[in-house]
Amino acid sequence: MKVVVSVGGSVLAPDLEPDRVADYATVLQDLDDRGHTLATVVGGGPTAREYIGTARELGANEIELDQLGIAVTRLNGRLLIAALDDRAAPTPAESYESGREAIRRGDIPVLGGVVAAQTTDAVAAAFAEYVDADLLVYATSVPGVFDADPNEDADATRFDSLGADELVDIIAGMEMDAGSNAPVDLLAAKVIKRSGIRAVVLDGTDPERVARAVADDEFDGTEIRPGA
Ligand code: UTP
């Protein structure tokens, strides 16, 4: 199975503690050993937010802030590359094309951000579409897709499964509320919908959840069904 695993920066490197990155590398190596074709996309997390906050105070414009965010996603990507050793492409792929070339060589590509004005959620969806992945896994800091922001609403309920068109409607509603924590952003949801790729959103604080979602199709999270 060809799988794109998107790991949020707040999940992979919340405080630059090495064990989480090493645990992700172990899970990815195990899936690689089982014959799956893998690609990863890594987010910027709190480190990106710190850099962006400081640069904003220094007067950087929004595109400059995005470029800074992209740089941090690639720094986080280099942590995962270090842990994956010779299975990973040696540098973060800076384009979808170079990521696809890495797969063709038999390496695991590690992508960060690609272009300003989006997030790595969208990168993961677009890359999954580009390489015709069978599955897209979002390892995030929330345990799935809810009908409301679970941080704000005690009655928020998690979906076990929903159609890609429903995902777009839910995320569009959430993004109308300033400051809400959508599990994936709207651009990503729209690319998931048009690509017809099956996606899973799960709590990435335990990388074993990613392993189960890929290897055994058992997961504790939300499945996004294509074409529904
Ligand atoms: P992230 O995708 O990591 O955003 O990109 P995030 O919402 O902080 O996600 P977590 O915490 O990792 O889960 C960090 C920043 O990098 C820029 C954006 O500014 C984004 O906010 N970025 C990222 C881009 O401009 N383009 C990209 O393709 C990716």
Q: Domains of the chain, with CATH numbers? A: 2-225 (3.40.1160.10)
Per-residue tokens: 35:
């014959």
Q: Residue 176 pLDDT more than 70?
A: no
Confidence of residue 216 (pLDDT cuts 50, 70, 90): confident
Instruction: Give tens-digit pLDDT for 148-172.
Output: 888 888 899 999 999 999 999 999 9
Residue 202 has φ and ψ, to the nearest 5°, of: -145, 165
| CA angle (214, 96, 2) in 5-degree steps | 20
Instruction: Give tens-digit pLDDT for 119-151.
Output: 999 999 999 999 999 999 999 999 999 988 888
User: What separation in Å is there between the alpha carbon of 5 and the centre of ligand 1?
Assistant: 15
User: What separation in Å is there between the alpha carbon of 114 and the centre of ligand 1?
Assistant: 10
Confidence of residue 64 (pLDDT cuts 50, 70, 90): very high
Instruction: Give tens-digit pLDDT for 72-116.
Output: 999 999 999 999 989 999 999 999 999 999 999 999 999 999 999
- For a ligand 1 pocket test, name from 120, 185, 191 the mutation site with the most ligand atoms within 8 angstroms of its C-beta: 120
Check the CA dihedral 120-78-212-35 and report its sign. positive
- Number of C-alpha atoms within 13 angstroms, CB side, residue 175? 13
Q: Which helix (H) or strand (E) holds 76?
A: helix 62-84
Helix axes 18-33, 62-84, angle to 10 degrees: 60
User: What separation in Å is there between the alpha carbon of 35 and the centre of ligand 1?
Assistant: 30
* Residue nearest ligand 1's atom 11 by CA: 45
Q: Residue 178 pLDDT more than 60?
A: no
